[in-house]
């Protein structure tokens, strides 16, 4: 069994590696010059990527078994494809992990506030339960609409770029 390669993003070469994984996760072979242009497009205004930086990153990725380096073209290996799909899921919101966690935290905090408020105000059990249910429903609707509208607006922006 091949071990899973993971890494932290700490320097420019790591950013290049993530962009390469994202770009190549579609499965096709890509020429290095085209890959360089795509990375330049992503990093416009933030960093200048030299071809030597890309070559260094590609050699490192090939040694890790993430890509096949075929001279002027590169392609992901099976392991690279799996890692690329994980990055796509994490960064491009294919799996809304952060939204689910944020929603749970919002609900827990709101529930605690309602319970403490009901305790301090001396509300009866039925009134406190109703207030908690009403508040949690409002939080759930707000989180859902925020997630839904956020996804729609992000999709519209992606189409314009």
Q: Over range 62-88, report the average pLDDT.
A: 87
pLDDT band of 132, cuts 50, 70, 90: confident
Please tell me the predicted confidence (pLDDT) of residue 127. Answer: 79
Provide the pLDDT confidence category of residue 36 given band limits of 50, 70 and 90: confident
Confidence at residue 102, expressed as pLDDT on a 0 to 100 scale: 64
Mean pLDDT of the chain: 75
Asked if 54 and 35 touch (Cβ cutoff 8 Å), the reply is: yes
CA 37 to chain centre: 22
Which 3-state string (H, E, C) describes 19-62?
Answer: HHHHHHCCCCCEEHHHHHHHHHHHHCCCCCCCHHHHHHHHHHHH
Query: What is the reported pLDDT for 144?
Result: 65
How crowded is residue 109: how many other Cβ atoms within 10 Å of its Cβ? 11
Does residue 150 have a pLDDT over 70?
Answer: no
Per-residue confidence (pLDDT) for residue 103, from 0 to 100: 63
Residue 84 pLDDT > 70:
yes
What residues pair up with 75 in beta bridges, in sequence order? 68
Full-prediction pTM beyond 0.85? no
47-72 average pLDDT score: 86
Decide if pLDDT at 66 tops 60: yes
How does residue 17 score in pLDDT terms, banded at 50, 70 and 90? confident
């Amino acid at each position: 069994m091949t071990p899973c390669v993971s890494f932290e993003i700490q320097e420019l070469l790591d950013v290049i590696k993530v962009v390469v994984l994202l770009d190549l996760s579609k499965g096709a072979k890509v020429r290095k010059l085209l890959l360089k242009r795509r990375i330049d497009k992503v990093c416009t205004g933030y960093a200048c990527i030299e071809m030597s930086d890309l070559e260094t990153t590609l050699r490192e990725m090939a040694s890790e078994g993430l890509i096949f380096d075929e001279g002027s073209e590169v392609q992901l290996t099976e392991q690279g494809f799996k890692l690329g799909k994980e990055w796509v899921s994490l960064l491009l919101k294919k799996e809304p992990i952060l939204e689910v966690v944020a929603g749970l935290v919002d609900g827990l905090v709101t529930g605690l506030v309602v319970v403490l408020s009901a305790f301090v105000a001396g509300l009866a059990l039925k009134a406190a339960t109703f207030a908690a249910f009403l508040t949690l429903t409002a939080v759930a609707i707000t989180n859902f609409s925020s997630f839904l509208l956020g996804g729609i607006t992000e999709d519209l922006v992606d189409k314009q770029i």
